[in-house]
């Protein structure tokens, strides 16, 4: 989830049938405990990415604060300082399975020069790599299981702010080497103007990259950058409406939350039929949940401020 997205609380709690390559199988999500989050209140919209809950405070400032909360609820902060910059905007933050953190945004120098960047911070926080990626302008970022970085956004003309390629997904090494670039064709724009990467969500599983665009198209890519699937969002999640969170598990279960104007329960994608299956609520879960993402195979939710909820898969009763 992009940092600018609002978190919607779901009107029901979560249980679901899981996805497999043969369709929807008889599994449910059951409660697996809650964790209190230490440190100051969460001010920006967080998401669970890799092995951490991540987010940003003072995201548009001289020195944004990138923060990460581990599975035990412990919070750590990193002040992002871009050399020679007077103003920095962070669009998105992600974490890898190893705890590395990546962020994307842009910086403006004191003499008004602009540079878009991807920053990678090592798991021990001892190394920070700043990649200047203009004319690529990334809005969304994810860290793959192998530690490499994926990002989505437009590519501009070198001498202007006009999009040369409106929708591009790129793959980088942690040290900034460009490994692959894919121009995504045929992506619809919800109002004909806005880039669909701004406000989008980029996620990774064990074998693919998932991109939920701001226009509510869901597109998947193999790790070589080849598009392998494209799915329309449910009709109730119309263009420009925010979903109540999204998560892609390591085993490729995709769950999204419902919108305020649509069904309150979250939905799961059945790739074989291109249908979205409602997620029913078990009787033992009484609180509303917002979807933050998957921690491996476990769905992480936001039952109330200052707490993380966890839901695990179990076999459905027969």
> Helix/strand/coil (H, E, C) string of 219-265?
EEECCCCCEEEEEECCCCCCCCCCCCCEEECCCCCEEECCCCCCCCC
Residue 24, in any domain of the structure: yes
Q: What span, in angstroms and rounded, lies between the C-alpha atoms of 60 and 199? A: 16
Q: What is the pLDDT of residue 2?
A: 40
Residue 86, in any domain of the structure: yes
User: Ramachandran region of residue 81, left (φ > 0), alpha (ψ -120 to 50) or beta?
Assistant: beta
Residue 293, in any domain of the structure: yes
Residue 35, in any domain of the structure: yes
Q: What is the pLDDT of residue 190?
A: 56
Residues 6+ apart with CB under 8 A from 39: 67, 69, 75
Residue 286, in any domain of the structure: yes
Q: What is the pLDDT of residue 303?
A: 74
- Write the CATH number for 223: 2.120.10.30
Residue 11, in any domain of the structure: no
Residue 110, in any domain of the structure: yes
Q: What is the pLDDT of residue 21?
A: 44
Q: Which residues of the chain have pLDDT under 50?
A: 1-22, 240, 262-263, 281-289
Question: How many domains, in total, are found in the chain?
Answer: 1
Domain of 74?
Answer: 18-315
Q: What is the pLDDT of residue 131?
A: 96
Residue 117, in any domain of the structure: yes
């Amino acid at each position: 989830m992009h940092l600018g997205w609002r978190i919607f609380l779901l009107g029901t709690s979560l249980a679901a049938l899981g996805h497999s390559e043969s369709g929807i199988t008889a599994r449910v999500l059951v409660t697996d405990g809650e964790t209190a989050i230490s440190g100051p209140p969460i001010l920006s919209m967080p998401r669970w990415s890799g092995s951490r809950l991540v987010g940003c405070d003072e995201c548009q400032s001289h020195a944004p604060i990138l923060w990460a909360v581990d599975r035990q609820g412990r919070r750590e902060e990193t002040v992002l300082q871009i050399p020679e910059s007077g103003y920095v905007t962070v669009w998105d933050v992600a974490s890898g399975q190893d705890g590395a953190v990546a962020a994307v945004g842009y910086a403006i120098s004191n003499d008004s020069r602009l540079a878009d960047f991807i920053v990678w911070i090592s798991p021990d926080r001892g190394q920070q790599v700043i990649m200047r990626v203009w004319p690529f302008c990334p809005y969304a970022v994810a860290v793959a299981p192998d530690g490499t970085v994926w990002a989505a956004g437009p590519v501009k003309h070198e001498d202007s702010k006009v999009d040369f390629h409106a929708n591009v997904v790129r793959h980088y090494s942690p040290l900034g080497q460009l490994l692959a670039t894919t121009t995504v064709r045929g992506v619809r724009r919800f109002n004909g103007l806005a880039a669909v990467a701004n406000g989008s969500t980029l996620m990774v599983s064990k074998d693919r990259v998932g991109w939920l665009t701001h226009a509510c198209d869901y597109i998947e890519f193999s790790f070589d950058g080849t598009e392998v699937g494209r799915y329309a969002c449910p009709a109730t999640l119309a263009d420009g409406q925010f979903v109540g969170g999204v998560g892609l598990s390591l085993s490729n279960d995709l769950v999204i939350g419902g919108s305020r104007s649509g069904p309150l329960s979250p939905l799961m994608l059945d790739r074989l039929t291109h249908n979205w299956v409602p997620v029913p609520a078990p009787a033992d879960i009484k609180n509303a949940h917002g979807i933050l993402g998957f921690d491996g195979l476990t769905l992480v939710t936001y039952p109330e401020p200052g707490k993380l909820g966890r839901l695990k898969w179990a076999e459905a009763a027969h």
